[in-house]
Structure 1
């Protein structure tokens, strides 16, 4: 008899006979450990959207104008996961900084929190020569007018620390409710990021398909630099509020433009032929260059392409790099509905 059916019948029989004194546990039978935490089908975490697993062609989809040859096409499979709907905003990051300051000053010290984890607002002045970045230095992170703009000035280490804190914050609540822990929040792998950016459109040049950066009405489809000296044609001179442009088919906003985004992987020019073709990743603590994807408000359209690879040094904070979190999906097959 099928195990599941046998256990179901046992539960029914126990419930029926329990009142007559006949309710006894299996003795000598394999029924699994008891007192396990409650695990309901995994819900979509607040602020995230499901990215159902599948197979796609990872790599350059348009002309390799830099002749870099660092992203040749390769078919890979990605397991299902969740990703933040938008880039992490100033106000979301502020919740993290406030919590760390409140809970961890005795361990880390205020100097560590403010130096290592607080967004480096001086990037608005340091990143560009002969540029009046002082107003943004003063207001971008602190003023409520920018609460829903993507956080910048955060290096790769701080982004990773944010993910760890978010995991602990969520699972502390789960533990209090008697629920099983959620999987860890983390930076997406480079392959996950590219798969999510395409939104199910294999070989798509941009998250919206392509090959153009304007829609049929002439409206810009992302926040970027369309031409020399032209930063404002998309409606924003610098960053935009998250979600200001249309989402891709997975429901993800700003996968091209606004701010580029940290990935978990170390950057390696030859990673495409080296990494595996199932959930590929390239962890390397000895490589200070980390993958950055998606292009930003200051970049030309080439860097907005879903297949364009780029990097930044892990300890470098920039006015054009932010991040978003991802989480694996557990308990279902790759092609099951994640909603």
Structure 2
């Protein structure tokens, strides 16, 4: 027994001698953290502000009584998400679906990269000899655990897709591409268009709020799986306005380069949420490809408090992002894109939407926090929610309540809806020609506040 105790003591001494911590409690030393500002975003320092109506509630809605709240620091997009940025998402989804279809058919007909044609798009795990130990283990134990039997297999992103019909490499490739377009009988003017109903994005997330409240809930029961059609509803330009000629906007607004820098519209709340998930996946895929790079926090829609705090730009009790109470500057120019006069949409020098970087930004360098398009936020509408929400990072988002908050007013709204405290809502599955969105990302750390930044 004495020999055993002596052996333990010797091992302990050797371990201590070989350690850099000299036996002290120094903690686990990780890599030094350097926060990286996401592209196209501004850092909004945390702080407190008076949320809600500072003036009389002229509309008599009584859903935004003044209340002092505090929010943590976060990053926010400088502008609303543009058509060009959303097209990146749509194209990614479309291309991923095409690549998966090509890989599945290549697998079914037994084609591999050496065969050329559709074989070049075969699953990358077709050659298990070049897998790492981990990849081989995952392939052998988890691949195919799903409804299709192809879950867990890697699609090939290294080979460019071919969209010119005259360059299709073989009949298998042609067969796959044919399924992605509308049938010939639904085509006109000699053009076949994409069947956008097939552009669906699948993702999963954990309902942490529900998991925290229900301690008996199993982890797998807190996982939510979604499948969302991602293409904007371009018909909103016609459906939103009865007896009105808006076909040019329906035909061109989303896809034409003339509108690339304009805010995307025709997006439901669920599609905006899906975009956030994709943006996170897209960024972290890049981070993963760079050895040693840390994963980023997820992108998301802002809470209602975060949106209003950012819209105010550090101005307390202001009516609009630029202060107010007027909608015109000293030189007589309108400060935002909205409907100044009944029936007169062009008085502010804009008929519909304008480019996302238009008008002057607020003091947080955020553009169009009032006007242009209303913006989805991650909150459910409850007229009395200000009465019971927390005063720190207040958030109300009931999955059963499909009425989701939109903020900021739009090109077709009167000035009241441009006020930073005005609340409005739309149903989560509804798309409008005047609703868009912007995203936020949590800031890692807590020291960045308005108070500290002013010292």
Whether these two folds match at TM > 0.5 is yes
2:400 maps to 286
The separation in 2 between residues aligned to 1:258 and 1:26, in whole angstroms, is 58
2:232 touches 2:267 (CA, 8 Å); kept in 1?
A: yes
> Does structure 1 residue 124 correspond to structure 2 residue 210?
no
The separation in 2 between residues aligned to 1:55 and 1:225, in whole angstroms, is 32
RCO (CA 8 Å, sep 6+): is it higher in 1 or 2?
Answer: 1
1:149 maps to 262
Q: CA deviation at 1:27?
A: 6.3
The separation in 2 between residues aligned to 1:333 and 1:322, in whole angstroms, is 31
1:5 maps to none
2:43 maps to 50
The separation in 1 between residues aligned to 2:55 and 2:360, in whole angstroms, is 22
1:205 touches 1:307 (CA, 8 Å); kept in 2?
A: yes
Q: CA deviation at 1:220?
A: 0.6
The partner residue of 2:60 within 48, 61, 67 is 67
Instruction: Report SS of the residue matched to 1:163.
Output: helix
Root-mean-square deviation over aligned CA pairs: 2.0
Question: Which consecutive residues of structure 1, in runs of 5 or more, have no partner in the other structure?
Answer: 1-21
Q: CA deviation at 1:24?
A: 4.2
The partner residue of 1:89 within 82, 86, 93 is 82
The separation in 2 between residues aligned to 1:263 and 1:81, in whole angstroms, is 15
Spell out the pairing of 1:222-241 with structure 2 (5 A cutoff): 222-241=336-355
Superimposed CA distance per residue, residues 277-302 of structure 1 (whole angstroms, 9 cap, x where no aligned partner): 00000020000000000000000000
1:41 touches 1:331 (CA, 8 Å); kept in 2?
A: no
Q: CA deviation at 1:32?
A: 3.1
2:266 touches 2:432 (CA, 8 Å); kept in 1?
A: yes
> Does structure 1 residue 205 correspond to structure 2 residue 200?
no
Superimposed CA distance per residue, residues 124-154 of structure 1 (whole angstroms, 9 cap, x where no aligned partner): 0001111111010000011100000000000
> Does structure 1 residue 274 correspond to structure 2 residue 267?
no
Superimposed CA distance per residue, residues 12-66 of structure 1 (whole angstroms, 9 cap, x where no aligned partner): xxxxxxxxxx9743365433336x4x45321211100111111100001333122
> Does structure 1 residue 189 correspond to structure 2 residue 303?
yes
Pairs aligned (count):
315
The separation in 1 between residues aligned to 2:32 and 2:424, in whole angstroms, is 39
> Does structure 1 residue 25 correspond to structure 2 residue 139?
no
Distance 1:263 1:256, change over 3 A: same
Q: CA deviation at 1:182?
A: 1.4
Instruction: Report SS of the residue matched to 1:272.
Output: helix
> Does structure 1 residue 331 correspond to structure 2 residue 445?
yes
Q: CA deviation at 1:334?
A: 3.9
1:39 touches 1:179 (CA, 8 Å); kept in 2?
A: no
Say which one has the larger Rg: 2
Runs of 4+ in 1 over 6 A off after TM superposition: 107-110
The separation in 2 between residues aligned to 1:24 and 1:81, in whole angstroms, is 39
2:269 touches 2:428 (CA, 8 Å); kept in 1?
A: yes
Instruction: Report SS of the residue matched to 2:237.
Output: helix
2:341 touches 2:347 (CA, 8 Å); kept in 1?
A: no
> Does structure 1 residue 158 correspond to structure 2 residue 244?
no
2:277 touches 2:298 (CA, 8 Å); kept in 1?
A: yes
> Does structure 1 residue 76 correspond to structure 2 residue 69?
yes
Q: CA deviation at 1:236?
A: 0.8
Instruction: Report SS of the residue matched to 2:276.
Output: helix
Question: Which consecutive residues of structure 2, in runs of 5 or more, have no partner in the other structure?
Answer: 1-16, 101-147, 152-179, 181-195, 201-227
2:72 touches 2:446 (CA, 8 Å); kept in 1?
A: no
2:338 touches 2:414 (CA, 8 Å); kept in 1?
A: yes
Spell out the pairing of 1:8-19 with structure 2 (5 A cutoff): none
The separation in 2 between residues aligned to 1:202 and 1:169, in whole angstroms, is 37
Instruction: Report SS of the residue matched to 1:242.
Output: coil
1:3 maps to none
The partner residue of 2:283 within 167, 170, 175 is 170
The separation in 2 between residues aligned to 1:318 and 1:209, in whole angstroms, is 28
